């Protein structure tokens, strides 16, 4: 791989993928809609070219994809827009990859797995999603596999890390960094899995640089499972915040959904806070080597440092 296009470069995982590729000396095109944010994130990065556009406009993706070897798909849209729109965006991305004879590396979540019944989930785990959003993700995965494009599909748990803004843990962190009362989604005593996005960026770049990984699914777990109480304790040791952290229940999200369509769409995914899906990374470690796994204390410290810098700007 000599040249890559990263879609959704202004988001959390997209940012980490661009950074990882740049550090490895690759030529990178960072693609998103928000030019000022792209400039702020990548002005000092070597080998990074900024390109703005809309994934719903085929010409925008085609222009950005010219001459690239791999397209990293890390872009997302609000829940309320998934039905219908998400599939069309992926059709555009696959068409762009086909036109350039480029490969695809897909950042995927865990929704298509459905309920795991408390078992660690391997790539062979039957995908039987019970939610609308899980079925949409599975339909997109099947569409990619039926296309003529070589693709790596990497499943990740919930994100946290530098520049991650649309994750459940971010809402807790953003308030605690400002020394305010905070919210934590789900039971604070339930062990869950989160991945530090720089670890995820390293892992998917490693997969994309290995020709033997294409045409397959790969699970990329986080460092370990951790409870909300443990996370909050770690954050308190890094920040001066002593304010209360309140639990957000499913009924609270349902109530907010009366006034906010995206909150209404989030209700069906609340099961992940009650029955967390935990990924098994054995396949990756057998094929590639040890997974990048930053301890939560170190990952939170780097995340909070990034957030404080952004507040000061």
Judged against a pLDDT cut of 90, whether residue 71 lies above it is answered with yes
**Rounded CA separation 149/172 (Å):** 39
Structure confidence at residue 259 (pLDDT):
67
Judged against a pLDDT cut of 80, whether residue 151 lies above it is answered with yes
Structure confidence at residue 119 (pLDDT):
86
Residue 304 lies in a domain: no
Contacts for 59 with CB less than 8 Å, ≥ 6 apart:
none
pLDDT category at 146 given cuts 50, 70, 90 is very high
When divided into structural domains, the chain yields a total of 1
Residue 253 lies in a domain: no
Residue 9 lies in a domain: yes
Which tens digit of pLDDT belongs to each residue from 239-287?
Answer: 989 999 999 998 988 887 766 777 788 889 999 999 999 999 999 999 9
Judged against a pLDDT cut of 80, whether residue 195 lies above it is answered with yes
Q: What is the mean pLDDT of residues 180-205?
A: 96
Structure confidence at residue 313 (pLDDT):
60
pLDDT-wise least confident of 42-46, 205-209, 296-300: 42-46
Residue 23 lies in a domain: yes
Buried b or exposed e, range 22-50, using 16+ CB within 10 angstroms: beeebbbbbbbeeeebbeebbeebeebeb
* Helix runs in 76-131, H state only: 82-100
Judged against a pLDDT cut of 80, whether residue 147 lies above it is answered with yes
pLDDT category at 312 given cuts 50, 70, 90 is low
Residue 35 lies in a domain: yes
Backbone angles phi, psi at 4, to 5 degrees: -130, 150
Which tens digit of pLDDT belongs to each residue from 14-46?
Answer: 999 999 999 999 999 999 999 999 999 998 898
Residue 176 lies in a domain: no
Residue 92 lies in a domain: yes
Q: What is the mean pLDDT of residues 192-214?
A: 97
Residue 305 lies in a domain: no
What CATH number is attached to the domain comprising 103?
3.40.50.720
Structure confidence at residue 166 (pLDDT):
87
> CB count, 10 Å around CB of 244?
9
Domain that holds residue 104: 3-163+194-222+277-293
- Rounded CA Rg of the chain: 19
Select from 6, 8, 11 the least CA-distant residue to 166. 11
pTM score of the predicted model: 0.96
């Amino acid at each position: 791989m000599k040249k890559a296009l990263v879609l959704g470069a202004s988001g959390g995982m997209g940012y980490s993928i661009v950074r990882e590729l740049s550090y490895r000396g690759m030529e990178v095109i960072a693609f998103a809609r928000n030019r000022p944010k792209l400039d702020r994130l990548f002005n000092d990065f070597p080998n990074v070219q900024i390109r703005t556009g809309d994934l719903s406009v085929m010409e925008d993706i085609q222009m950005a994809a010219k001459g690239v070897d791999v397209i990293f798909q890390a872009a997302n849209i609000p829940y309320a827009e998934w039905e219908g729109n998400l599939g069309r965006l992926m059709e555009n991305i696959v068409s762009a990859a086909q036109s350039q004879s480029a490969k695809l590396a897909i950042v995927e979540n865990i929704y298509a797995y459905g309920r795991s019944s408390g078992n660690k989930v391997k790539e062979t785990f039957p995908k039987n999603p019970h939610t609308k959003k899980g079925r949409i993700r599975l339909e997109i995965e099947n569409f990619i596999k039926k296309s003529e494009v070589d693709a790596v599909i990497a499943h990740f748990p919930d994100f946290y890390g530098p520049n991650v803004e649309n994750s459940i843990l971010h809402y807790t962190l953003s308030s605690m960094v400002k020394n305010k009362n905070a919210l934590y989604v789900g039971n604070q005593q339930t062990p869950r899995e989160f991945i530090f996005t720089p670890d995820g960026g390293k892992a998917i770049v490693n997969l994309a640089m290995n020709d033997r990984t294409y045409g397959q699914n790969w699970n990329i777990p986080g460092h370990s499972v951790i409870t909300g109480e443990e996370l909050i304790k770690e954050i308190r040791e890094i920040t001066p915040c002593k304010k209360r952290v309140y639990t957000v229940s499913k009924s609270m999200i349902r109530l907010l959904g009366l006034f906010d369509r995206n909150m209404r769409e989030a209700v069906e995914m609340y099961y992940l806070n009650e029955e967390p899906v935990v990924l098994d990374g054995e396949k990756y470690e057998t094929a590639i080597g040890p997974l990048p796994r930053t301890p939560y204390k170190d990952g939170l410290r780097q995340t909070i440092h990034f957030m404080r810098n952004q507040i000061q700007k």
